[in-house]
Structure 1
Amino acid sequence: MNSDRRTFIKRMGLSIAATSLAAGNLACTDSSSSLAGNSESLLATREGQPEPAPIGYDRLPLEWYKANTQRLKDKLNPRGIEAILIQNDINAVYYTGCFRGSGERTTWVLFPSNEKDTAYWYGPAIDRDLITSWWATEFEYYFCFPHAVGGFPNKGEVVQGERKDLFEWLLEGLEKKGMAGKTIGTDFTPNPAQLEMARKILPGTKFVNISEDCLQMKIIKTKEEIALFQRTYRYFDKVHAFARDFILENGTNVTDFEIGQALQLFAIQMIMKDVKYDGRPHSAVGIDSTSHYVRTGVSTAYPHPNQFFYSKVKKGESLYVNTDLYLGGMGGECYRNYLIAPWTDHQSKMWEIVSDTVQIMVEESKPGAICSDVAYKVHQHQVKNGMQQYIYHRPGHGTGQNLQGHQAPYLALGDYTPMQEGMMFSVEPGLYDSEKGIGINPSDNLLITKTGAVLMSRVPFSKEWSYLTL
C-alpha cells in the first residue's frame, strides 16, 4: 500500500469516527442548541396527536400478530375459507411479525382456519433459523433457488437432481397437511399452469383470492400501530430540527449529499440509543433511516430525478430535505423545503401555495370525506393561483406499514374511497418548475381521527422555519 493511500484511509477513518461521535453526542441531547438556530424551539404543537409508543416498545409483539391473523380468519370464515396461504412478503410480515424478504426464493405461510395460533412455513433453507426462532409450528424447506430434487448440502446430500418446480413442491407440502378438497384463501392468483398442477395434487381444492381483504386490514391502522408511527414521527421532529440547524451552521460550505449523510447518521444514532438490541434476530427489526434524496438547486425541480446529488448549497436556490424513518416497520416520509435568501417572488409564491394546500388537506380530511374531493380542492386551489403548469402528481397516497411506502387509498381525482378513522395519508401537494430550477414538495403523515385529521410530525410549515438566510 503506498503512502498516499494509507494516509487517505487513516484520515477517512478519523473523519468517520469524529462524525459518528459528534452525531451520537447530538442524538443523546435533548436539544440542538449548540448549533445555530436552536430549531427544536420552533417545533409546532399539534392538538390531537396520539400518544407515542414508549421507549422499550420497539416493535409489535408476537401476541399482536397472532391476534391479527385470527382477525383475518374471523373475517374470512363466513365465506367458507378453510385455510389461508400467504405469499406476499409484506403480508407475511403483517400477519406473522417475522421481518424478512424472499426475492427469488419464494416463501409461503399457511394458517389452517380450524387451528389456533399455528403457522406452517414453506421456504428456502437460508431462512430456516430465522423463521423457526420466531413463530413457526413447522418449517418445511427446499435448499435454494433453483432447487434440485434431493440436493441438500446442509445435510451432506450433494445431489445434482432434476430442477423442482417450487409451486409443485408447495402443493405436495399442502397435500401432507390435508388441504386436498379445501377452500384456501390466497393473497395471489395461481396461473393456469399452477391450477393444473393443483388439480392433480390437490383434487377438489378451491383457491380464493383474499388480497383485497388483506389490504383493507392494513389500511385501517390499529392503536398499537398508530403508537409506533407516532414514536417514529417524534424522531422525525428531532431529525428535521437537526437538519435545519446543520444547514444554518454550515451554510454554503456543505453539499446536499453531506447533509443527507449527516441526517442519516444522526437519525440512526438517536433511534438505536432507545432500542433494545442484542444482535439476534427479531430485535431492532423494521428499522431504517434514509436521506439520499436530499437535494439542492435545479434537482429539486424534478419529482423523480435520476441524477446523483452532490451540489453545494447556494444562496437564492431551493433546498429539499428528504428523510424516511422506520421503527418496527412503522414510519414513512417527512420532508421539508427551504428557500435560501435571496428568494424571488416566484419562489415565494410557489412555497405559499404549497403551504396553503397542506392546510386544505388537513382541514378537508375526516371520516366520510371522499379522497377525490380532497384532491379536487387541492388542485383547484393550485390552478386558481396560476400553478397549473407546475402540477405533476396527486397530493398524497395511503401510508403503508412494514417499510411499504405507498398504499391505497390515494388522494387522487380518480379515487372515490371514503376516508375512515385509522387511515393514514402522505401530504405532498408538490409544485415543480424545471425552467427556473425550483421544486417545493414537503411531506408528512396525516392520520384520520374520529373527528378530523392531524399531522403526525411537529415540523412546521411556516416561513419562519423554511426561509433561511445563510
Structure 2
Amino acid sequence: MTTRRDFLATSSASLAALAVTGCDQANADVGTTPVANDLPPAIAALTPMKDGVVPISVDERKARLDKARRLMTDQRIDALMLAGGTSMEYFTGMRWGNSERLLAVVIPAKGAPFLVTPKFEEERALEQATMGPLGLDATVYAWEEHEDPWAFFGKGLRDRGLATATIGVEETVKFQFSDGAARLPQVRTVSGTPVTAGCRITKDAHELALMRHASKVTLLAYEAAYKSLTEGMTQDDFADLVQLAHKRLGYTGSAGVQVGKYSALPHGSATPQVVQEGSILLIDGGCKVEGYSSDISRTFVLGKATQRMKDVFEIEFRAQTAALAAARPGVPCEAVDAAARKVIVDAGFGPDYRYFSHRVGHGMGMDGHEWPYLVRGNTLPLAPGMVFSDEPGIYIPGEFGIRLEDDMVITESGAELFTPQSESLEQPF
C-alpha cells in the first residue's frame, strides 16, 4: 500500500507533465490548428476559440465528491466503484481507458478514497490522482501481473472498515470487474447510477457555459464546411471539412454525413455517396470543450430544394419548436416527445413512429448521450440545469430525411436552445 506522500519521498521520477500514453484521448481538446494552405476560404478564415474557456477545477471536483457521499448515505451505499470512463473523469479528473487489467477508484461514503491499479501503472495513476481532488493522500493498492487484484480491492475495503460493504458499481464498469467485486465475501453490489446520475444529471453554470461554447464551436464549423461544399464531393469529403473546421477553431470535432435517399436513415449508411446539384445532406455530430459535449444536426440542400423538401422542413421546424415550448420544470420528460410527435403525426407523417422513428431527445453533458431521455414512458419531471438534444426527425424511405437538432437547457421558467434554429434548407445558418 502506497500513499502519494510516500511515493514522492521515494521516487525520483518527474511529475512535471501528465503522462497520457495509453489514456483515452479521443475527446481531448486540440490546442493547435492546421496550416491554412489550400484550405477553402471559409475554413481558412476560422481562428481558435479558446479565450475565456476555463477547465473544471479541483475544488469543483471536490464538491462533486461531497455530493456523491451524501447521495451514497441516502441510498445506503457504502462505497462507489469507478473504472476508466466519464464518471471517473467527472469525479477525479483522471482520464483512463479500460482494458482487461483492473484499475478502479473506490470512493467510500465515509473515509478516504483508494485506487487499485496494476503495479506497472502505479506512477501514472498517482500522477493523475494527485492532479485532482484525491490529492497527496491518495492511497494505491498496486498488484503485480501474477497477483489477484481483487485481494487488493478487498484489503482496501477492510482497511476502511467495509468488509461487509454495499458497493455501488458505476453503470459502464465492465462485467468482469463488477462480477469480481460481487464475488468478494460479504460484499454486495448494486447499481451506482443513483449516485452518478444524481450528481451529473443537472449541470451548474460552469458546465452550461462549456456546453454552450461547444455548441457555438460546432455550429461555426458546420457553417464553414457548408460554405465550402461543392458538387462532386463524397460524404467523406464533407466530413473531412467539418473535422478541419473544428481543428481551425481549436477542438476535435466531427460529423456523420448522409446524402440524398440515405438521409432517410437516421444514423445513415456506409454506402458511398456523392453530392450533386439539388442533393439534400443531413449532418450530425459535435465536439467537446473541456470534456463537455455538443450534438447538433443540420439538413440542407446544395442549390435549390424541391417544394416537397421545403414542406417537410417546415413541419420539422414546427415540431422542434413545439418540443422547446413544451419543456419546462416539472413537466415529465415524455411530454416533450409527445409535443413534437403530435406536430409530425398531425401533418400526415404517422402513425406514431412510422416516419419519426426515434425519441425526440437525450440527456447530454460530458457524454453525448446520458440521462435522462425525452421518450414516451419516462415520467421523470424536468428540472433546471438538465440539458437535452431537441431533435425530431422526418424520414421518408427512398426519398430523404430531415432532422434539426439543437441542444436545449431547462431554465427556471422554460427552456432555451444553445444555438439558433436553422431557418431553411437553402439558408441553414
Q: TM-score per shorter chain, which class?
A: 0.7 to 0.9
Deviation for aligned residue 1:252:
0.8
Deviation for aligned residue 1:350:
1.7
Deviation for aligned residue 1:213:
2.5
Instruction: From 154, 158, 164, give the equivalent of 1:175.
Output: 158
List alignment gaps of at least 5 residues for structure 2.
1-33
Letter of the aligned partner of 2:205 in structure 1? K
Deviation for aligned residue 1:387:
1.0
Letter of the aligned partner of 1:108 in structure 2? A
Contact 2:85 2:98 (C-alpha < 8 Å) held by counterparts? yes
Contact 1:128 1:141 (C-alpha < 8 Å) held by counterparts? yes
Could you tell me which residue of structure 1 aligns to residue 384 of structure 2?
421
Could you tell me which residue of structure 2 aligns to residue 264 of structure 1?
243
Deviation for aligned residue 1:237:
2.9
Letter of the aligned partner of 2:61 in structure 1? Y
Could you tell me which residue of structure 2 aligns to residue 444 of structure 1?
406
Could you tell me which residue of structure 1 aligns to residue 363 of structure 2?
398
Q: 1:269 to 1:407 in 2, by over 3 A?
A: same
Q: Please give the alpha-carbon distance, in whole angstroms, between the structure 2 residues aligned to 1:238 and 1:341.
A: 20
Could you tell me which residue of structure 2 aligns to residue 371 of structure 1?
333
Give per-residue Cα distances to partners, 1:306-334, cap 9 Å, x unaligned.
415x4331122211133311111101311
Q: Does 1:384 find its partner at 2:384?
A: no
Deviation for aligned residue 1:25:
4.0
Contact 2:278 2:303 (C-alpha < 8 Å) held by counterparts? yes
Instruction: From 109, 115, 118, give the equivalent of 1:121.
Output: 115
Q: Does 1:224 find its partner at 2:225?
A: no
Q: Does 1:254 find its partner at 2:233?
A: yes
Letter of the aligned partner of 1:228 in structure 2? L
Give per-residue Cα distances to partners, 1:355-398, cap 9 Å, x unaligned.
11111011111111122122112112111111124221111111
TM-score normalised according to structure 2 size = 0.80
Letter of the aligned partner of 2:357 in structure 1? Y
Q: Does 1:321 find its partner at 2:315?
A: no
Could you tell me which residue of structure 2 aligns to residue 290 of structure 1?
254
Could you tell me which residue of structure 2 aligns to residue 39 of structure 1?
none
More helix by share: 1
Deviation for aligned residue 1:433:
1.4
Sequence identity percentage: 22
Could you tell me which residue of structure 2 aligns to residue 51 of structure 1?
none
Could you tell me which residue of structure 1 aligns to residue 264 of structure 2?
301
Larger Rg, first or second structure (1 or 2): 1
Could you tell me which residue of structure 1 aligns to residue 26 of structure 2?
none
Deviation for aligned residue 1:454:
0.8
Q: Please give the alpha-carbon distance, in whole angstroms, between the structure 2 residues aligned to 1:379 and 1:102.
A: 39
TM-score normalised according to structure 1 size = 0.73
Bigger mean CA offset, 187-196 vs 55-64: 187-196
Q: Please give the alpha-carbon distance, in whole angstroms, between the structure 1 residues aligned to 2:182 and 2:109.
A: 25
Q: 1:77 to 1:351 in 2, by over 3 A?
A: same
- SS of the aligned residue for 2:220 comes to helix
- SS of the aligned residue for 1:390 comes to coil
Give per-residue Cα distances to partners, 1:294-315, cap 9 Å, x unaligned.
221122111133415x433112
Could you tell me which residue of structure 1 aligns to residue 226 of structure 2?
244
Could you tell me which residue of structure 2 aligns to residue 71 of structure 1?
67
Q: 1:253 to 1:67 in 2, by over 3 A?
A: same
- SS of the aligned residue for 2:239 comes to helix
Contact 1:357 1:381 (C-alpha < 8 Å) held by counterparts? yes
Give per-residue Cα distances to partners, 1:191-240, cap 9 Å, x unaligned.
997577422xxx5x554543222112211111111111111122123212
Instruction: From 130, 133, 136, give the equivalent of 2:127.
Output: 133
Could you tell me which residue of structure 1 aligns to residue 143 of structure 2?
142
Contact 1:184 1:207 (C-alpha < 8 Å) held by counterparts? yes
Could you tell me which residue of structure 2 aligns to residue 92 of structure 1?
88
Letter of the aligned partner of 1:59 in structure 2? P
Q: Please give the alpha-carbon distance, in whole angstroms, between the structure 2 residues aligned to 1:130 and 1:299.
A: 45
Could you tell me which residue of structure 2 aligns to residue 278 of structure 1?
none
Q: CA RMSD in A?
A: 3.0
Contact 1:58 1:327 (C-alpha < 8 Å) held by counterparts? no
Contact 1:24 1:270 (C-alpha < 8 Å) held by counterparts? no
- SS of the aligned residue for 2:231 comes to helix
Q: Please give the alpha-carbon distance, in whole angstroms, between the structure 2 residues aligned to 1:217 and 1:123.
A: 25
Q: 1:320 to 1:463 in 2, by over 3 A?
A: closer
Contact 2:301 2:425 (C-alpha < 8 Å) held by counterparts? no
Contact 1:237 1:459 (C-alpha < 8 Å) held by counterparts? no
Letter of the aligned partner of 2:213 in structure 1? R
**How does 1:52-63 map onto structure 2 within 5 Å?**
55-63=51-59
List alignment gaps of at least 5 residues for structure 1.
1-14, 31-53, 150-163, 273-287
Letter of the aligned partner of 1:254 in structure 2? M
Q: Please give the alpha-carbon distance, in whole angstroms, between the structure 2 residues aligned to 1:394 and 1:27.
A: 34
Q: 1:129 to 1:29 in 2, by over 3 A?
A: closer
Q: 1:196 to 1:111 in 2, by over 3 A?
A: closer
Q: Please give the alpha-carbon distance, in whole angstroms, between the structure 2 residues aligned to 1:333 and 1:268.
A: 17
Could you tell me which residue of structure 1 aligns to residue 23 of structure 2?
none
Q: 1:70 to 1:356 in 2, by over 3 A?
A: same
Give per-residue Cα distances to partners, 1:234-272, cap 9 Å, x unaligned.
21232122122112xxx2142221121111112123125
